[in-house]
Amino acid sequence: MPQLAAPTDAIVKVTRTTICGTDLHILKGDVPSCEPGRILGHEGVGIVYQVGAAVSTLKEGDHVLISCISSCGKCDYCRRGMYSHCTTGGCILGNRIDGTQAEYVRIPHAETSLYRIPPGADKDALVMLSDILPTGFECGVLNGKVEPGSTVAIVGAGPIGLASLLTAQFYSPAQVVMIDRDPYRLEMASRFGATACIDSGVDDPVAKVMKLTAGTGADCVIEAVGVPETFELCQALVAPGGIIANVGVHGVKADLHLESLWDRNISITTRLVDTVSTPMLLKTVRAGRLDPESLITHRFRLDDVLKAYETFGDAARSHALKVIIETA
Ligand SMILES: [Zn+2]
Ligand SMILES: [Zn+2]
């Protein structure tokens, strides 16, 4: 049972959580800041159980969405809306401090890291707002400056790529092309509104995208995988004047082909999700403009969390996108 450690903390009784690709990276040992014994998980919804003395905007019994990013709201980074780099917060939940794959979790900077939700709201759908939707939207769609009539290519049709696909449609792009090697995920993408899907295990994605764009390439290319090969593919897909918006978590160096890009007027962006768009995304979900529940493929009880990890980790066979873990 976690205890309040600062007056700005809250203890939240977790009702739903999920597993993220980042959790798999942690299990593989790719994230040294996460020490053995840590409770994982940085996504979820729950009910406020206890608040510290300095918390005035939340009270026991409030239903809340837990943001994957903890932010103090006061440091220089937070004042600029860059919550991901908060000097006493950021990406700490389920990493540097115990996370949400548990019955209860301690949330630091509770007032600025939790979002109140109505008691009747669809809790499963809202879990998608802790991380993947703001990540796909902020790092992919906003940084990639998706515009009405523009052409978007998304490399990687996993949960994050699909979250970018869903939120790119806020801006009415003319084309959204999804590229992946998993036919099941591409089928989901076409159901979620992709105008073209390219199986890069079968077809040459560069030739196909050039054909779809009359030889120019895509105005916005979103990298949602995180390996050198896909980052290099993005460089071959981007149109003159376009943007490569990197979302993927890269563990090794990737080549930048300046010899072919130096005169193309392109930009490359990187970002750790700030979750500044969370209030807006909450409104779109509540208004039925966005249906993140479609990303949920499996459901488990907390007792079966190992099975949940197995299923999520073997997505090629299980066809898992997001798994919901019911904790209460
Ligand atoms: Zn995550
Ligand atoms: Zn801060």
CATH code, 157: 3.40.50.720
Q: Is residue 317 part of a domain?
A: yes
Q: How close is the Cα of 238 to the center of ligand 2, in Å? A: 35
The three-point CA angle 259-241-211 to 5° equals 85
Query: Ligand 1 centroid vs 300 CA: distance in angstroms?
Result: 18
Residue 92 Cα, ligand 2 centroid: separation in angstroms?
12
What local confidence, expressed as pLDDT, does residue 239 receive?
Answer: 98
Residues β-bridged to residue 46: 14, 64
User: 134 - beta bridge partners?
Assistant: none
**For the chain, what percent of residues have pLDDT higher than 70?**
100
Grade residue 119 by pLDDT with cuts at 50, 70 and 90.
confident
pLDDT at position 29: 87
State the distance from the centre of ligand 1 to the C-alpha of 174, rounded, in angstroms: 29
**Same domain, residue pair 137 and 265:** yes
Which of 52, 64, 152, 125 shows the shortest CA–CA distance to 290? 125
| pTM summary value | 0.96
In a domain, 148, yes or no: yes
Residues 177-192: what's their mean pLDDT?
97
Distance 22 CA to ligand 1 centre (A): 5
Are 82 and 184 within one domain?
no
* Ligand 2 centroid to residue 23 C-alpha, Å: 24
Q: What is the pLDDT of residue 213?
A: 97
Please tell me the distance between residue 109's alpha carbon and the centre of ligand 2 in angstroms. 9
Cα of 24 vs centre of ligand 1, distance in Å, is 10
Q: What is the mean pLDDT of residues 302-327?
A: 96
247: left (phi over 0), alpha (psi -120 to 50) or beta: alpha
How close is the Cα of 149 to the center of ligand 1, in Å? 30
- When divided into structural domains, the chain yields a total of 2
Task: Give exposure, 7-38, as e/b (b: 16+ Cβ within 10 Å).
Answer: ebbbbbbbbbbbbbbbbeebeeeebeebeeeb
For residue 113, name the pLDDT band (cuts at 50, 70, 90): very high
C-alpha of residue 112 to centroid of ligand 1, in Å: 18
**What pLDDT is stored for residue 173 in this prediction?**
98
CATH number of the domain encompassing residue 78: 3.90.180.10
Inform me whether the pLDDT recorded for 251 exceeds 90: no
What's the pLDDT score for residue 118?
A: 87
Residue 263 has pLDDT above 90, yes or no: yes
The dihedrals phi and psi of 274, each to the nearest 5 degrees, come to: -95, -15
14-42 per-position pLDDT tens digit? 999 999 999 998 998 888 999 999 999 99
Decide if pLDDT at 328 tops 80. no
pLDDT number for residue 266? 98
Place of tokens 């995180």: 226
> Where a domain ends, among 243, 269, 295?
269
Q: Is 200 a domain residue?
A: yes
- Rounded to the nearest angstrom, the distance between the alpha carbon of 81 and the centre of ligand 2 is 9
- Residue 300 tokens read as 């488990």
How many C-beta neighbours within 10 Å does residue 263 have?
8
Residues 89 and 199 in one domain: no
Claim to verify: residue 40 and residue 90 sit in the same structural domain: yes
- The pLDDT-based confidence of 90 (bands split at 50, 70, 90) is very high
- Could you tell me the distance, in angstroms and rounded to a whole number, from the CA of residue 27 to the centre of ligand 2? 27
By the 10 Å C-beta count (0-12 exposed, 13-18 middle, 19+ buried), 80 is classed as exposed
Could you tell me the distance, in angstroms and rounded to a whole number, from the CA of residue 278 to the centre of ligand 1?
Answer: 14
Span from the CA of 261 to the centroid of ligand 1 (angstroms): 31
Query: 77 alpha carbon to ligand 2 midpoint, in Å?
Result: 6
- Under DSSP, the state recorded for 78 is H
Ligand closest to the CA atom of residue 134 = 1
Q: Is 1 within a domain?
A: no
Same domain, 30 and 120: yes
Residues 262 and 284 reside in one and the same domain: no
Name the pLDDT band for 122 (thresholds 50, 70, 90). confident
Q: What are phi and psi of 218, to 5 degrees?
A: -95, 140
Long-range own/partner contacts, residues 301-306 (CB < 8 A, 24 or more apart): 301/325, 301/326, 302/101, 302/102, 302/103, 302/326, 302/327, 305/101
Residue 68 has which token pair? 């994957």
Ligand 2 centroid, distance to 50 Cα (angstroms):
22
CB 197 within 8 A of CB 189: yes
Confidence band of 264 (pLDDT split at 50, 70, 90): very high
Q: What's the domain range around 314?
A: 10-131+275-326
* Residues 125, 139 within the same domain: no
**Overall average pLDDT of the 238-256 stretch:** 95
The answer on pLDDT for 298 being more than 90 is: yes
Q: Per the domain annotation, does 258 fall within a domain? A: yes
3 domain residue, yes or no: no
Contact 146, 171 (CB under 8 A): yes
Same domain, 144 and 258: yes
Does residue 5 lie in a domain region?
A: no
70 C-alpha vs ligand 1 centroid, how far in Å?
A: 13
Q: Which ligand is nearest to the CA of 312?
A: 1
- 207 and 249, same domain (yes or no): yes
Closest ligand by atom to 82 CA: 2
Residues 79 and 152 in one domain: no
pLDDT band at 315 (very low <50, low <70, confident <90, very high): very high
Q: Pick the ligand that lies closest to the CA of residue 22.
A: 1
Q: Which residues pair with 175 in a beta bridge?
A: 151
* The pLDDT of residue 180 is above 90: yes
Q: Which of 253, 269, 285 is the last residue of a domain?
A: 269
135 Cα: distance to centroid of ligand 1 (angstroms): 8
Asked if the structure places residue 257 within a domain, the reply is: yes
The predicted structure's pLDDT at residue 112: 97
Share of the chain above pLDDT 90, in %: 94
Contact 45, 129 (CB under 8 A): no
| Cα(279)–Cα(281) distance, integer angstroms | 6
Question: How many of the other CB atoms lie within 10 Å of CB of 60?
Answer: 12
- Among residues 55, 53, 41, which one has the least CA distance to residue 131? 41
Give yes or no: residues 223 and 285 share one domain: no
Same domain, 208 and 161: yes
Reported as a pLDDT band with limits 50, 70 and 90, residue 108 is very high
Average pLDDT over residues 264-288: 96
